Amino acid sequence: MPASTHSEAVTEGIRVKAEPRYLVERSIPDEGRFVFTYKITLTNEGASWAKLKARHWVIVDSEGRREDVYGPGVVGEEPELYPGQSYSYHSFCPLSTNFGTMEGSFSMVREDGAPFEIRVARFYLAAGEIT
């Protein structure tokens, strides 16, 4: 078991912090429904503007089932980050097991139109002791 469920990574001057939490009130363990929320915070520590265009999540449950999720933006937005700015959002992930992992990437673009990818380091979805 990891010491923490959280993760943090910096790619191309963009820091991505992930903070998951188990939602007891939304979960029905007897029916194999475990619901997790997570907060993602992006901070532009670089010297140039960047815009988030798309996301890719890799979700793996404790039985090894993998799901890849692709989509435009995040929570219906394509946030722009100027140097020094941060952007946070909350979303959720249902699992059929009480433990799993999430990791992935965000597709970004610079002011000159140059695309780049930033990493979201693996974080843990755990219905239990880890915080």
pTM of the model: 0.93
Q: Which residues pair with 128 in a beta bridge?
A: none
**Total count of residues recorded for the chain:** 131
pLDDT tens readout for residues 7-65 = 999 999 999 999 999 999 999 999 999 999 999 999 999 999 999 999 999 999 999 99
List domains and CATH numbers for the chain: 7-126 (2.60.40.1470)
pLDDT (0 to 100) of residue 128: 77
Helices vs. strands in the chain: H and E counts, helices first: 0, 9
CA 75 to chain centre: 12
Provide DSSP, 102-120: EEEEEEEEETTS-EEEEEE
Q: How confident is the model at residue 131 (pLDDT cuts 50, 70, 90)?
A: very low
* Average pLDDT along the chain: 95
